[in-house]
Structures are given as C-alpha cells and as structure tokens.
Amino acid sequence: MTKYRNTYEARCAAQLGPEFAYEPLKLTYTITHTYLPDFVHVEDKRIVEAKGYWDADGRRLIRAVMAQNPDYNLEMWFQNPDLKISKGSATTYGDWCDRHGIAWRKGPAK
C-alpha cells in the first residue's frame, strides 16, 4: 500500500487511479540567480567574500557560484573560521572550505 504525505494526496491518487505512480522519480532543475561578491580584483578575477555568520544556503550558493564561474578565484575571509557550520556539528567553517577546495583565511581583527 502506498503511503502518501498527506490525506489530500491520497484523495488525489484515488481520483487519478493506478495508472499514475506516486513520486516515482526526481527531476533536476536550475534557477538562475545573481551573486554580488563583496570584493573583486577585476583584472585578476579574484573574489574575496567576507563572512561572519555563514548558513547552509550561503555555503550552497558559494559552491554553485564557483562551479559555474571557474575562471574566478574565490577566497573566503572569516571573522571566526572556527565557528561550527551548525549546532552539534564538529565541522568548522574552515574545515568545510578545506573539504570543498575553497581557499579561506581568518579576516582582520577589530
């Protein structure tokens, strides 16, 4: 028996009949956004991104920007590179960058 996410989907399935499979595949898609880097050395195509707090969406964005703009060199400057990427994680911002081949450093102090 198929388990649906909610009762409305179950009612739709009953109306559609067995010819329709429920969630049988995943489709990929791309959404185009723009990224506004913090600092750019235009001639050298070098980007420096300054970060205090860096959430999962921000990390995903940086990976996508790097993958789709390989002619730019991106470097992360962290206020505190030893912060954990999430509560309960042992991975720091610096560790995450190392794992994904992203240059980083501790930024300037106050």
pLDDT (0 to 100) of residue 110: 81
Q: Residue 56 is encoded by which pair of tokens?
A: 């999962």
What is the rounded CA–CA span in Å between residue 105 and residue 110?
15
Residue percentage of the chain with pLDDT more than 90 = 92
- Kindly report, residue by residue over 80-107, the tens digit of the pLDDT: 999 999 999 999 999 999 999 999 999 9
Note the pTM of the prediction, 2 decimals: 0.75
Q: Tell me what the mean pLDDT of segment 56-85 comes to.
A: 96
Contacting residues for 69 by C-beta, under 8 A, at least 6 apart: none
What is the rounded CA–CA span in Å between residue 21 and residue 44?
52
- Kindly report, residue by residue over 37-58, the tens digit of the pLDDT: 999 999 999 999 999 999 999 9
What is the rounded CA–CA span in Å between residue 21 and residue 51?
45
Domains annotated for the chain, with CATH where assigned, are 33-106 (3.40.91.30)
pLDDT (0 to 100) of residue 58: 97
Q: Could you tell me which of 91, 94, 98, 49 has the C-alpha nearest to residue 69?
A: 49
Q: Residue 100 is encoded by which pair of tokens?
A: 């994904």
